[in-house]
Amino acid sequence: MSDLILTTFDWVPEPPRGYVRDIRVRWALEEAGLPYRVETVPFRKRNAEHFVHQPFGQVPWLTDGDISIFESGAMLLHLGERSDALMPSDPRGRSEAKEWLFAALNSVEMASLPWSLLIFSGNTGDTPAWKLFDGFLHQHRLKHMEAVLAGRQWLAGTFSVADILMADVLRLVARFDGLAKYPACHDYVARATARPSFVKAHADQLAHFAAADAA
Amino acid sequence: MSDLILTTFDWVPEPPRGYVRDIRVRWALEEAGLPYRVETVPFRKRNAEHFVHQPFGQVPWLTDGDISIFESGAMLLHLGERSDALMPSDPRGRSEAKEWLFAALNSVEMASLPWSLLIFSGNTGDTPAWKLFDGFLHQHRLKHMEAVLAGRQWLAGTFSVADILMADVLRLVARFDGLAKYPACHDYVARATARPSFVKAHADQLAHFAAADAA
Protein backbone atom coordinates (compact mmCIF):
# COMPACT_ATOMS: atom_id res chain seq x y z
CA MET A 1 0.00 0.00 0.00
CA SER A 2 1.26 3.46 -0.88
CA ASP A 3 1.99 5.85 1.93
CA LEU A 4 2.32 8.91 -0.34
CA ILE A 5 -0.87 10.94 -0.75
CA LEU A 6 -1.04 14.08 -2.86
CA THR A 7 -3.97 16.36 -2.04
CA THR A 8 -5.29 18.86 -4.56
CA PHE A 9 -8.58 20.62 -5.28
CA ASP A 10 -11.66 18.65 -6.35
CA TRP A 11 -12.22 21.14 -9.17
CA VAL A 12 -10.81 24.40 -10.53
CA PRO A 13 -12.02 26.75 -13.29
CA GLU A 14 -10.62 26.32 -16.80
CA PRO A 15 -7.77 28.91 -16.88
CA PRO A 16 -5.40 27.36 -14.29
CA ARG A 17 -5.87 23.79 -15.51
CA GLY A 18 -2.55 22.32 -16.52
CA TYR A 19 -0.83 24.81 -14.21
CA VAL A 20 -2.16 23.96 -10.73
CA ARG A 21 0.91 23.33 -8.62
CA ASP A 22 0.09 19.73 -7.90
CA ILE A 23 1.65 19.16 -11.32
CA ARG A 24 5.09 19.79 -9.82
CA VAL A 25 4.58 17.01 -7.30
CA ARG A 26 2.95 14.65 -9.79
CA TRP A 27 5.92 15.20 -12.12
CA ALA A 28 8.46 14.45 -9.39
CA LEU A 29 6.56 11.35 -8.25
CA GLU A 30 6.42 10.07 -11.84
CA GLU A 31 10.14 10.73 -12.39
CA ALA A 32 10.94 8.83 -9.19
CA GLY A 33 8.51 6.02 -9.95
CA LEU A 34 7.09 6.35 -6.43
CA PRO A 35 3.55 5.01 -5.98
CA TYR A 36 1.04 7.61 -4.77
CA ARG A 37 -2.62 8.37 -4.78
CA VAL A 38 -4.49 11.63 -5.20
CA GLU A 39 -7.08 12.91 -2.75
CA THR A 40 -9.11 16.10 -2.95
CA VAL A 41 -10.44 19.01 -0.91
CA PRO A 42 -13.24 21.34 -1.97
CA PHE A 43 -12.15 24.32 -4.07
CA ARG A 44 -15.22 26.35 -3.18
CA LYS A 45 -15.45 25.78 0.57
CA ARG A 46 -12.14 25.51 2.43
CA ASN A 47 -12.60 24.17 5.93
CA ALA A 48 -10.47 24.30 9.08
CA GLU A 49 -8.91 20.89 8.35
CA HIS A 50 -7.64 22.27 5.03
CA PHE A 51 -5.85 25.12 6.83
CA VAL A 52 -4.21 22.63 9.21
CA HIS A 53 -2.44 21.12 6.20
CA GLN A 54 -2.01 24.30 4.15
CA PRO A 55 -2.12 27.49 6.25
CA PHE A 56 -2.89 29.74 3.26
CA GLY A 57 -5.82 27.65 2.07
CA GLN A 58 -4.07 26.60 -1.12
CA VAL A 59 -3.06 23.26 -2.66
CA PRO A 60 -1.25 20.93 -2.94
CA TRP A 61 0.09 19.16 0.08
CA LEU A 62 1.78 15.80 0.40
CA THR A 63 1.50 13.28 3.20
CA ASP A 64 4.21 10.69 3.70
CA GLY A 65 3.17 8.45 6.54
CA ASP A 66 2.50 10.75 9.51
CA ILE A 67 4.27 13.76 7.99
CA SER A 68 2.23 16.36 6.07
CA ILE A 69 4.12 18.85 3.89
CA PHE A 70 2.96 22.02 2.14
CA GLU A 71 4.95 24.28 -0.26
CA SER A 72 5.93 22.73 -3.58
CA GLY A 73 9.61 23.43 -2.87
CA ALA A 74 9.47 21.55 0.44
CA MET A 75 7.62 18.62 -1.14
CA LEU A 76 10.15 18.35 -3.96
CA LEU A 77 13.06 18.59 -1.54
CA HIS A 78 11.48 15.80 0.51
CA LEU A 79 11.03 13.61 -2.58
CA GLY A 80 14.55 14.48 -3.77
CA GLU A 81 15.89 13.10 -0.52
CA ARG A 82 13.89 9.89 -1.09
CA SER A 83 14.91 9.19 -4.69
CA ASP A 84 18.21 9.23 -6.59
CA ALA A 85 16.21 9.95 -9.75
CA LEU A 86 15.46 13.44 -8.41
CA MET A 87 18.77 14.63 -6.99
CA PRO A 88 22.44 13.99 -7.84
CA SER A 89 24.20 11.70 -5.36
CA ASP A 90 27.46 13.64 -4.92
CA PRO A 91 27.60 16.47 -2.34
CA ARG A 92 28.37 19.21 -4.84
CA GLY A 93 25.62 18.12 -7.21
CA ARG A 94 23.11 17.90 -4.35
CA SER A 95 24.06 21.38 -3.22
CA GLU A 96 23.60 22.73 -6.75
CA ALA A 97 20.21 21.05 -7.08
CA LYS A 98 19.10 22.64 -3.81
CA GLU A 99 20.30 26.16 -4.61
CA TRP A 100 18.65 26.05 -8.04
CA LEU A 101 15.47 24.71 -6.46
CA PHE A 102 15.40 27.86 -4.32
CA ALA A 103 16.42 30.04 -7.27
CA ALA A 104 13.51 28.75 -9.35
CA LEU A 105 11.09 29.80 -6.63
CA ASN A 106 12.65 32.75 -4.90
CA SER A 107 14.48 34.46 -7.75
CA VAL A 108 12.62 33.54 -10.95
CA GLU A 109 9.06 32.88 -9.75
CA MET A 110 9.42 35.88 -7.40
CA ALA A 111 9.61 37.96 -10.58
CA SER A 112 7.32 35.95 -12.84
CA LEU A 113 4.41 35.71 -10.42
CA PRO A 114 3.73 39.49 -10.11
CA TRP A 115 4.27 39.74 -13.88
CA SER A 116 1.68 37.04 -14.57
CA LEU A 117 -0.75 38.44 -11.97
CA LEU A 118 -0.70 41.75 -13.83
CA ILE A 119 -1.40 39.93 -17.09
CA PHE A 120 -4.18 37.80 -15.56
CA SER A 121 -5.85 40.90 -14.16
CA GLY A 122 -5.49 42.89 -17.39
CA ASN A 123 -3.10 45.45 -15.90
CA THR A 124 -0.39 45.58 -18.52
CA GLY A 125 0.43 48.42 -20.86
CA ASP A 126 1.86 51.84 -20.24
CA THR A 127 1.70 51.95 -16.45
CA PRO A 128 4.57 52.37 -13.94
CA ALA A 129 3.75 49.05 -12.24
CA TRP A 130 3.82 47.07 -15.48
CA LYS A 131 7.14 48.64 -16.49
CA LEU A 132 8.53 47.88 -13.03
CA PHE A 133 7.62 44.19 -13.00
CA ASP A 134 8.20 43.54 -16.69
CA GLY A 135 11.68 45.04 -16.30
CA PHE A 136 12.31 43.04 -13.12
CA LEU A 137 11.49 39.79 -14.91
CA HIS A 138 13.39 40.47 -18.12
CA GLN A 139 16.43 42.49 -17.06
CA HIS A 140 17.08 40.96 -13.66
CA ARG A 141 16.02 37.39 -14.22
CA LEU A 142 15.44 36.03 -17.75
CA LYS A 143 18.50 37.72 -19.21
CA HIS A 144 20.64 35.92 -16.64
CA MET A 145 18.75 32.61 -16.93
CA GLU A 146 19.38 32.72 -20.68
CA ALA A 147 23.14 32.91 -20.02
CA VAL A 148 22.95 30.02 -17.56
CA LEU A 149 20.82 27.77 -19.76
CA ALA A 150 22.85 28.49 -22.90
CA GLY A 151 25.65 26.54 -21.24
CA ARG A 152 23.96 23.51 -19.75
CA GLN A 153 21.25 20.94 -20.37
CA TRP A 154 20.07 20.70 -16.76
CA LEU A 155 20.73 23.00 -13.82
CA ALA A 156 22.63 20.60 -11.57
CA GLY A 157 24.41 18.44 -14.15
CA THR A 158 21.76 15.74 -14.31
CA PHE A 159 17.98 16.23 -14.32
CA SER A 160 16.74 17.03 -10.80
CA VAL A 161 13.92 18.57 -8.77
CA ALA A 162 15.47 21.96 -9.60
CA ASP A 163 14.58 21.42 -13.25
CA ILE A 164 11.02 20.44 -12.41
CA LEU A 165 10.52 23.73 -10.57
CA MET A 166 12.46 25.94 -12.98
CA ALA A 167 10.78 24.46 -16.05
CA ASP A 168 7.35 24.77 -14.46
CA VAL A 169 7.99 28.41 -13.53
CA LEU A 170 9.29 29.25 -17.02
CA ARG A 171 6.42 27.34 -18.62
CA LEU A 172 3.96 29.90 -17.24
CA VAL A 173 6.13 32.71 -18.63
CA ALA A 174 6.09 30.97 -22.02
CA ARG A 175 2.30 30.72 -21.86
CA PHE A 176 2.20 34.52 -22.13
CA ASP A 177 4.95 34.67 -24.80
CA GLY A 178 7.53 35.88 -22.28
CA LEU A 179 10.32 33.63 -23.58
CA ALA A 180 10.25 34.79 -27.21
CA LYS A 181 13.63 36.53 -26.88
CA TYR A 182 15.28 33.71 -24.91
CA PRO A 183 15.96 30.68 -27.13
CA ALA A 184 17.92 28.76 -24.46
CA CYS A 185 15.09 29.21 -21.93
CA HIS A 186 12.55 28.21 -24.55
CA ASP A 187 14.49 25.08 -25.54
CA TYR A 188 14.98 24.17 -21.88
CA VAL A 189 11.22 24.26 -21.24
CA ALA A 190 10.61 22.21 -24.41
CA ARG A 191 13.26 19.66 -23.33
CA ALA A 192 11.86 19.34 -19.81
CA THR A 193 8.20 19.11 -20.81
CA ALA A 194 8.97 16.47 -23.45
CA ARG A 195 9.89 14.05 -20.66
CA PRO A 196 7.32 11.23 -20.37
CA SER A 197 6.89 11.98 -16.65
CA PHE A 198 5.78 15.54 -17.38
CA VAL A 199 3.50 14.43 -20.21
CA LYS A 200 1.80 11.95 -17.87
CA ALA A 201 1.56 14.39 -14.96
CA HIS A 202 0.04 17.04 -17.21
CA ALA A 203 -2.48 14.62 -18.74
CA ASP A 204 -3.37 13.30 -15.28
CA GLN A 205 -4.07 16.79 -13.95
CA LEU A 206 -6.26 17.67 -16.94
CA ALA A 207 -8.14 14.37 -16.62
CA HIS A 208 -8.61 14.92 -12.88
CA PHE A 209 -10.37 18.25 -13.38
CA ALA A 210 -12.26 17.08 -16.47
CA ALA A 211 -13.68 14.22 -14.41
CA ALA A 212 -14.95 16.76 -11.89
CA ASP A 213 -16.80 18.62 -14.68
CA ALA A 214 -18.45 15.36 -15.73
CA ALA A 215 -19.43 14.32 -12.21
CA MET B 1 40.93 28.18 10.39
CA SER B 2 37.38 28.82 9.39
CA ASP B 3 36.14 27.28 6.19
CA LEU B 4 32.92 29.34 6.07
CA ILE B 5 33.12 32.53 4.03
CA LEU B 6 30.17 34.86 3.55
CA THR B 7 30.48 37.18 0.56
CA THR B 8 28.51 40.43 0.39
CA PHE B 9 28.87 43.81 -1.31
CA ASP B 10 31.73 46.15 -0.42
CA TRP B 11 29.25 49.03 -0.11
CA VAL B 12 25.55 49.75 -0.63
CA PRO B 13 23.57 53.02 -0.51
CA GLU B 14 21.86 54.00 2.74
CA PRO B 15 18.26 52.72 2.20
CA PRO B 16 18.93 48.93 2.12
CA ARG B 17 21.42 48.98 5.00
CA GLY B 18 20.24 46.70 7.77
CA TYR B 19 18.19 44.78 5.19
CA VAL B 20 20.79 43.38 2.77
CA ARG B 21 20.21 39.64 2.70
CA ASP B 22 23.60 38.74 4.09
CA ILE B 23 21.93 39.52 7.42
CA ARG B 24 19.98 36.26 7.16
CA VAL B 25 23.20 34.28 6.89
CA ARG B 26 25.03 36.30 9.54
CA TRP B 27 22.09 35.70 11.88
CA ALA B 28 22.12 31.94 11.28
CA LEU B 29 25.90 31.73 11.69
CA GLU B 30 25.68 33.64 14.99
CA GLU B 31 22.85 31.42 16.26
CA ALA B 32 24.89 28.33 15.43
CA GLY B 33 28.12 29.75 16.83
CA LEU B 34 29.92 28.76 13.63
CA PRO B 35 33.12 30.70 12.88
CA TYR B 36 33.09 32.59 9.59
CA ARG B 37 34.65 35.51 7.85
CA VAL B 38 33.17 38.11 5.52
CA GLU B 39 34.56 38.90 2.09
CA THR B 40 33.32 41.46 -0.41
CA VAL B 41 32.65 42.04 -4.10
CA PRO B 42 32.18 45.45 -5.72
CA PHE B 43 28.63 46.81 -5.67
CA ARG B 44 29.22 49.13 -8.60
CA LYS B 45 31.06 46.85 -11.00
CA ARG B 46 30.01 43.21 -11.03
CA ASN B 47 32.47 41.00 -12.88
CA ALA B 48 32.22 37.55 -14.46
CA GLU B 49 33.59 35.85 -11.33
CA HIS B 50 30.68 37.34 -9.35
CA PHE B 51 28.16 35.75 -11.74
CA VAL B 52 29.85 32.37 -11.37
CA HIS B 53 28.92 32.45 -7.68
CA GLN B 54 25.61 34.31 -8.00
CA PRO B 55 24.06 34.06 -11.49
CA PHE B 56 21.81 37.10 -10.98
CA GLY B 57 24.64 39.37 -9.88
CA GLN B 58 23.27 39.71 -6.35
CA VAL B 59 24.63 38.93 -2.88
CA PRO B 60 25.20 37.07 -0.63
CA TRP B 61 26.77 33.72 -1.25
CA LEU B 62 28.39 31.31 1.16
CA THR B 63 31.38 29.07 0.58
CA ASP B 64 31.89 26.02 2.75
CA GLY B 65 35.13 24.36 1.72
CA ASP B 66 34.86 23.76 -2.02
CA ILE B 67 31.09 24.25 -2.16
CA SER B 68 29.67 27.68 -3.08
CA ILE B 69 25.99 28.35 -2.39
CA PHE B 70 23.71 31.22 -3.46
CA GLU B 71 20.07 31.84 -2.44
CA SER B 72 19.49 32.71 1.21
CA GLY B 73 17.09 29.77 1.56
CA ALA B 74 19.70 27.31 0.30
CA MET B 75 22.38 28.78 2.57
CA LEU B 76 20.13 28.53 5.62
CA LEU B 77 19.12 24.99 4.74
CA HIS B 78 22.80 24.08 4.44
CA LEU B 79 23.60 25.65 7.82
CA GLY B 80 20.51 24.05 9.36
CA GLU B 81 21.87 20.68 8.35
CA ARG B 82 25.20 21.55 10.01
CA SER B 83 23.87 22.77 13.36
CA ASP B 84 21.27 21.52 15.85
CA ALA B 85 20.81 25.13 16.97
CA LEU B 86 19.14 25.89 13.63
CA MET B 87 16.84 22.93 13.05
CA PRO B 88 14.87 20.56 15.30
CA SER B 89 16.40 17.09 15.56
CA ASP B 90 13.21 14.98 15.19
CA PRO B 91 11.97 14.16 11.65
CA ARG B 92 8.62 15.90 12.03
CA GLY B 93 10.21 19.06 13.45
CA ARG B 94 12.81 19.10 10.66
CA SER B 95 10.09 18.72 8.07
CA GLU B 96 8.14 21.61 9.61
CA ALA B 97 11.23 23.83 9.69
CA LYS B 98 11.84 23.13 6.00
CA GLU B 99 8.27 23.76 4.85
CA TRP B 100 8.13 27.03 6.79
CA LEU B 101 11.49 28.03 5.38
CA PHE B 102 9.96 27.70 1.91
CA ALA B 103 6.73 29.38 3.05
CA ALA B 104 8.65 32.41 4.30
CA LEU B 105 10.23 32.84 0.88
CA ASN B 106 7.75 31.51 -1.60
CA SER B 107 4.43 32.38 0.03
CA VAL B 108 5.08 35.43 2.23
CA GLU B 109 8.04 37.13 0.52
CA MET B 110 6.44 36.31 -2.84
CA ALA B 111 3.68 38.73 -1.78
CA SER B 112 5.71 41.21 0.27
CA LEU B 113 8.41 41.81 -2.33
CA PRO B 114 6.14 43.22 -5.07
CA TRP B 115 4.33 45.20 -2.36
CA SER B 116 7.57 46.74 -1.12
CA LEU B 117 8.86 47.35 -4.67
CA LEU B 118 5.73 49.42 -5.35
CA ILE B 119 6.34 51.39 -2.15
CA PHE B 120 10.07 51.89 -2.91
CA SER B 121 9.22 53.17 -6.39
CA GLY B 122 6.42 55.45 -5.18
CA ASN B 123 3.67 53.53 -6.96
CA THR B 124 1.09 53.17 -4.21
CA GLY B 125 -2.31 54.82 -4.00
CA ASP B 126 -5.44 54.38 -6.01
CA THR B 127 -4.11 52.20 -8.83
CA PRO B 128 -5.20 48.70 -9.89
CA ALA B 129 -1.68 47.30 -9.38
CA TRP B 130 -1.39 48.64 -5.84
CA LYS B 131 -4.82 47.25 -4.91
CA LEU B 132 -3.87 43.90 -6.42
CA PHE B 133 -0.59 43.48 -4.54
CA ASP B 134 -1.74 45.12 -1.30
CA GLY B 135 -4.71 42.75 -1.28
CA PHE B 136 -2.51 39.77 -2.11
CA LEU B 137 -0.26 40.52 0.87
CA HIS B 138 -2.98 41.28 3.40
CA GLN B 139 -5.85 38.98 2.47
CA HIS B 140 -3.92 35.97 1.20
CA ARG B 141 -0.85 36.06 3.39
CA LEU B 142 -0.75 38.23 6.54
CA LYS B 143 -4.29 37.35 7.64
CA HIS B 144 -3.29 33.70 7.63
CA MET B 145 0.13 34.28 9.19
CA GLU B 146 -1.60 36.13 12.01
CA ALA B 147 -3.69 33.02 12.74
CA VAL B 148 -0.59 30.81 12.66
CA LEU B 149 1.53 33.06 14.87
CA ALA B 150 -1.25 33.68 17.38
CA GLY B 151 -0.87 30.03 18.35
CA ARG B 152 2.87 29.49 18.53
CA GLN B 153 6.10 31.12 19.61
CA TRP B 154 8.22 29.71 16.76
CA LEU B 155 7.16 28.11 13.49
CA ALA B 156 8.60 24.62 14.01
CA GLY B 157 8.27 24.25 17.80
CA THR B 158 11.75 25.51 18.63
CA PHE B 159 13.58 28.45 17.02
CA SER B 160 14.92 27.46 13.58
CA VAL B 161 16.13 28.75 10.22
CA ALA B 162 12.45 29.10 9.28
CA ASP B 163 12.09 31.84 11.92
CA ILE B 164 15.18 33.66 10.66
CA LEU B 165 13.67 33.88 7.19
CA MET B 166 10.08 34.56 8.23
CA ALA B 167 11.08 37.24 10.74
CA ASP B 168 13.39 38.88 8.23
CA VAL B 169 10.65 38.91 5.58
CA LEU B 170 8.07 40.33 8.01
CA ARG B 171 10.59 42.88 9.33
CA LEU B 172 10.60 44.60 5.92
CA VAL B 173 6.79 44.66 5.95
CA ALA B 174 6.92 46.22 9.42
CA ARG B 175 9.36 48.85 8.15
CA PHE B 176 6.52 50.22 6.00
CA ASP B 177 3.89 49.84 8.76
CA GLY B 178 2.40 46.77 7.12
CA LEU B 179 1.97 44.83 10.39
CA ALA B 180 -0.12 47.44 12.25
CA LYS B 181 -3.23 45.26 12.13
CA TYR B 182 -1.43 42.02 13.01
CA PRO B 183 -0.36 41.97 16.67
CA ALA B 184 0.85 38.36 16.62
CA CYS B 185 3.03 39.01 13.56
CA HIS B 186 4.34 42.20 15.15
CA ASP B 187 5.18 40.45 18.43
CA TYR B 188 6.84 37.60 16.55
CA VAL B 189 9.17 40.00 14.73
CA ALA B 190 9.94 41.77 18.03
CA ARG B 191 10.66 38.44 19.73
CA ALA B 192 12.92 37.23 16.92
CA THR B 193 14.86 40.46 16.51
CA ALA B 194 15.46 40.72 20.28
CA ARG B 195 17.69 37.63 20.06
CA PRO B 196 21.36 38.51 20.67
CA SER B 197 22.34 36.79 17.42
CA PHE B 198 20.10 39.10 15.39
CA VAL B 199 21.27 42.17 17.29
CA LYS B 200 24.89 41.27 16.55
CA ALA B 201 24.23 40.39 12.90
CA HIS B 202 22.38 43.67 12.37
CA ALA B 203 25.09 45.74 14.07
CA ASP B 204 27.79 43.91 12.09
CA GLN B 205 26.08 44.64 8.78
CA LEU B 206 25.66 48.33 9.61
CA ALA B 207 29.29 48.55 10.75
CA HIS B 208 30.46 46.79 7.57
CA PHE B 209 28.85 49.37 5.29
CA ALA B 210 29.74 52.30 7.56
CA ALA B 211 33.39 51.25 7.34
CA ALA B 212 33.12 51.39 3.54
CA ASP B 213 31.87 54.99 3.77
CA ALA B 214 34.85 55.89 5.94
CA ALA B 215 37.39 54.17 3.68
- Interface check B101 vs A, CB under 8 A: yes
- Interface check A105 vs B, CB under 8 A: yes
Residue A67: helix, strand or coil by DSSP? strand
What CATH number should be reported for the domain whose range is A4-85+197-214?
A: 3.40.30.10
Average pLDDT of B42-65?
96
What CATH number should be reported for the domain whose range is B91-194?
A: 1.20.1050.10
Domain ranges for chain A, please list them: 4-85+197-214, 91-194
What's the pLDDT score for residue B2? Answer: 55
pLDDT for A124 beyond 80: yes
pLDDT for B1 beyond 70: no
Chain A, window 26-45: residues with a beta carbon less than 8 angstroms from a chain B beta carbon: none
- Interface check A55 vs B, CB under 8 A: yes
Q: Which residue of A has its CA nearest to B66?
A: A92
Indicate whether this model's pTM tops 0.95.
Answer: yes
* Cβ separation A123–B130 shorter than 8 A: no
What's the pLDDT score for residue A63? Answer: 97
Q: Which among A118, A121, A144 has the least Cβ separation from residue B57?
A: A144
Q: How confident is the model at residue A72 (pLDDT cuts 50, 70, 90)?
A: very high
pLDDT in tens, A14-46: 999 999 999 999 999 999 999 999 999 999 999
What's the pLDDT score for residue B207? Answer: 98
What is the nearest CA distance from B151 to chain A, expressed in angstroms? 12
Chain A to chain B, count of Cβ pairs less than 8 Å apart?
Answer: 129
pLDDT in tens, A132-147: 999 999 999 999 999 9
